């Protein structure tokens, strides 16, 4: 199938924009690769330290067997990462079968946004991505690994690991998922109870019961937020094994796929004949494919923040205009909560990512001619794994949707576009996700109510102050101000106001959760208010126009451009809950439109 003109044009634009940075990156990676297997350069003393605790130290020191480094985000507080506790032993056994060795190179932090929502700890969340990248870099700096396996799932973990993998781009790397928890309380029922609680209709006991019934076992949360969007991204970019993303934890298939990932990592080192450095996979076509997947599935807006940062680590420069243009060309093929009633288990059962990749390839909306960890192109990802006599084999995947309420072909989608829009105007640049927003709410024009944090919004709601159409402006929420926490706890409040018949929207230089849904939200506005950005000139009562149809975000006050920006007392954001240690990250972070990253 001929590549769609928009996909071709955007890819060329990224390639041209990235010509110097990508060329310099590939030159560095080639020079690192030319030095040969890393362990060959270690002294006897270096190697003795590296292997001292291993029972198979002679194999590591005296043979040319590939040595796989495991970088793991395991902890047993975070349900999505708890299954990784078992993975090192599975990987070591698989590596041995493949004639290789494996060591845990290091661990990286994995915080849970679901625990820190609305709390001071959420102000560390975005920058945990950079800490994860740095920690993974420390693990890989021992320079004793011929390939790497990256074990991570959730919001900032996968982006941080990609930044590290890109930085060590001469090392072959495979990403290893852990899978979603089985389905619990349906997400729409959980959301209903949250709104009832916000409205004072039910007590905390009912809310707690609903939450516990929804988040109930090891594995990723089952709604289609950032964590599961990450898993989609890794498959569309060819960094997972095909069909690996949404297999439940602690199953025979999950274990077999983990073993197969280790075997594949052992096969693609420079010691063999199939050397496949991850830096060659991470090119502009892979990132375009990832963005296509994001739009076709209605995935998390957080990836609009993360993909530019991930791409920069590989010398690729992605801009939010690329997301906008790809979204206009890619149909919405999936309805997964919060964009529908199904969860990711239902989505996977209906045909899942393999079905989507097949139909997007047929529509010319994906690059097939990419490098992937399979050694082939993206057509390998139209297959699905099967377990035969304890081993994984891949067979042709589904050609037809098994549930068209969840999954449809590109020729008959739920919507003709992906639902992510770039917004531009005198309030800066940002994005809005409209795939779950009713068409009659794609344009909101209303007076502004201006707040400096989300707690002020909650207090105004409790006081009954929202009685007319309102655009809620929450500013000083960008990376330089307070680390850009998610404002997810505002979603039930705004949904209640909307259900009362008001036309409401959110405008912010902060970000929303990957679970944001039916309320219009202009997010990631840059430049941010803390840097003197235009949101700092908005006043209560200003008429704001949020127009997702035409991509406009404007303050209509006649004297707007001549106003002096207000400043805010940000001292409360600087201390407590570890925030004092993150001042360097706040100072170094770039604009949200560039990934808000201070290390690439």
| Strand partners for 26 | none
Residue 221 is labelled as binding a ligand: yes
* Parallel, antiparallel or unpaired: strands 470-474 and 443-451: parallel
What confidence score (pLDDT) does residue 213 get?
81
Contacts of 313 (CB under 8 A, 6+ apart): 133, 162, 163, 164, 165, 166, 167, 282, 600
| Strand partners for 415 | 332
Is the CB of residue 448 less than 8 Å from the CB of residue 538? yes
What confidence score (pLDDT) does residue 514 get?
55
Contacts of 471 (CB under 8 A, 6+ apart): 444, 446, 447, 448, 449, 504, 505, 506, 507, 544, 546
Classify residue 454 as left (phi > 0), alpha (psi -120 to 50) or beta.
alpha
What confidence score (pLDDT) does residue 338 get?
82
Q: Is 524 in a helix, a strand, or coil?
A: strand
The CATH number assigned to the domain with range 420-594 reads 3.50.30.80
Q: Max Cα separation, the chain?
A: 76
Name the token pair of 431.
């994005």
pLDDT per residue as tens, the chain (600 positions): 799 999 999 999 999 999 999 999 999 999 999 887 767 777 788 877 878 788 777 777 777 799 999 999 999 999 999 999 999 999 999 999 999 999 999 999 999 888 888 788 888 899 999 999 999 999 999 999 999 999 999 999 999 999 999 999 999 999 999 999 998 877 778 778 888 887 788 888 888 888 888 788 899 999 898 999 999 999 999 999 999 999 999 999 999 999 999 999 999 999 999 999 999 999 999 999 999 999 999 998 899 999 999 999 999 999 999 999 999 999 999 999 888 889 999 999 999 999 999 999 999 999 999 999 999 999 999 999 999 988 999 999 999 999 999 999 999 999 999 989 999 999 999 999 887 789 999 999 999 999 999 999 999 999 999 999 999 999 999 999 999 998 888 988 999 999 999 999 999 999 986 555 789 999 999 999 999 999 999 999 999 999 999 999 999 999 999 999 999 998 888 888 888 989 889 999 999 999 999 899
Residue 597 is labelled as binding a ligand: no
Q: Write down the domain spans for the chain.
A: 5-182+217-396, 420-594
Residue 245, Cα to own-chain centre: how many angstroms?
13
Count of CB atoms situated within 10 Å of the CB of 499: 11
Q: Could you give the angle at the alpha carbon of 410 between the alpha carbons of 407 and 416, nearest 5°? A: 100
* Parallel, antiparallel or unpaired: strands 67-72 and 147-151: parallel
């Amino acid at each position: 199938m001929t590549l769609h003109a928009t996909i071709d044009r955007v890819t060329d634009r990224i390639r041209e924009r990235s010509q110097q940075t990508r060329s310099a990156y590939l030159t560095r990676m080639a020079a690192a690769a030319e030095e040969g297997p890393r362990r060959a350069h270690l002294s006897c003393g270096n190697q003795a330290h590296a292997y001292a605790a291993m029972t198979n130290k002679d194999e590591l020191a005296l043979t040319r067997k590939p040595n796989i480094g495991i970088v793991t985000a395991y902890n047993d507080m975070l349900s999505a990462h708890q299954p990784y506790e078992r993975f090192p032993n599975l990987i070591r056994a698989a590596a041995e079968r493949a004639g290789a060795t494996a060591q845990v190179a290091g661990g990286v932090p994995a915080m849970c946004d679901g625990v820190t929502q609305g709390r001071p700890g959420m102000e560390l969340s975005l920058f945990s991505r950079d800490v994860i990248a740095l920690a993974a870099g420390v693990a890989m700096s021992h320079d004793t690994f011929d390939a790497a396996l990256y074990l991570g799932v959730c919001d900032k973990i996968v982006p941080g690991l990609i930044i590290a993998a890109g930085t060590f781009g001469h090392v072959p790397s495979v990403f290893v998922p852990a899978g979603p928890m089985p389905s619990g309380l349906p997400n729409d029922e959980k959301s209903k109870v949250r709104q009832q609680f916000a409205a004072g209709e039910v007590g905390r006991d009912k809310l707690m019961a609903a939450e516990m019934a929804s988040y109930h076992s090891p594995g990723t949360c089952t709604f289609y937020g950032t964590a599961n969007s990450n898993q989609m991204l890794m498959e569309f970019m060819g960094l997972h094994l095909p069909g690996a993303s949404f297999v439940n934890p602690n199953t025979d298939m999950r274990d077999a796929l983990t073993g197969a990932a280790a075997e594949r990592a052992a096969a693609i080192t420079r010691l063999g004949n199939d050397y496949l450095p991850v830096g060659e996979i991470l090119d502009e076509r892979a990132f375009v494919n990832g963005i296509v997947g994001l739009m076709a599935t209605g995935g998390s807006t957080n990836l609009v923040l993360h993909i530019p940062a991930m791409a920069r680590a590989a010398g690729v420069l992605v801009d939010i205009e690329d997301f906008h243009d790809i979204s206009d060309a890619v149909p919405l093929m999936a309805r997964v909560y919060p964009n529908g009633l199904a969860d990711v288990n239902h989505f996977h059962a209906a045909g899942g990512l393999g079905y989507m990749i097949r139909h997007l390839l047929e529509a010319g909306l994906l690059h097939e001619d990419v490098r992937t960890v399979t050694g082939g192109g993206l057509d390998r990802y139209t297959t699905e794994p099967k377990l035969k006599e304890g081993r994984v084999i891949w067979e042709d995947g589904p050609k037809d949707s098994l549930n068209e309420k969840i999954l449809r072909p590109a020729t008959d989608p739920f919507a003709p576009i992906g639902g992510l829009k770039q917004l531009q105007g005198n309030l800066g640049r940002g994005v809005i996700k409209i795939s779950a927003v009713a068409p009659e709410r794609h344009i909101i024009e209303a007076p502004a109510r201006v707040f400096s944090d989300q707690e002020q919004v909650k207090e105004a709601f409790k006081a009954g102050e929202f009685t007319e159409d309102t655009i809620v402006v929450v500013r000083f929420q960008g990376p330089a101000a307070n680390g850009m926490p998610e404002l997810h706890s505002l979603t039930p409040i705004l949904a209640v106001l909307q259900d009362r018949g008001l036309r409401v929207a959110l405008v912010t230089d902060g970000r929303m959760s990957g679970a944001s849904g039916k309320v219009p939200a202009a997010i990631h506005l840059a430049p941010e208010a803390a840097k003197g950005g235009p949101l700092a000139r908005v006043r209560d009562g200003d008429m704001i126009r949020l127009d997702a149809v035409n991509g406009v975000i404007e303050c209509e006050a006649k004297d707007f451009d001549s106003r002096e920006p207000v400043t805010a007392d940000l001292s409360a954001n600087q201390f407590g809950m570890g925030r004092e240690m993150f001042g360097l990250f706040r100072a170094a972070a770039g604009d949200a439109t560039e990934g808000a990253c201070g290390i690439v």
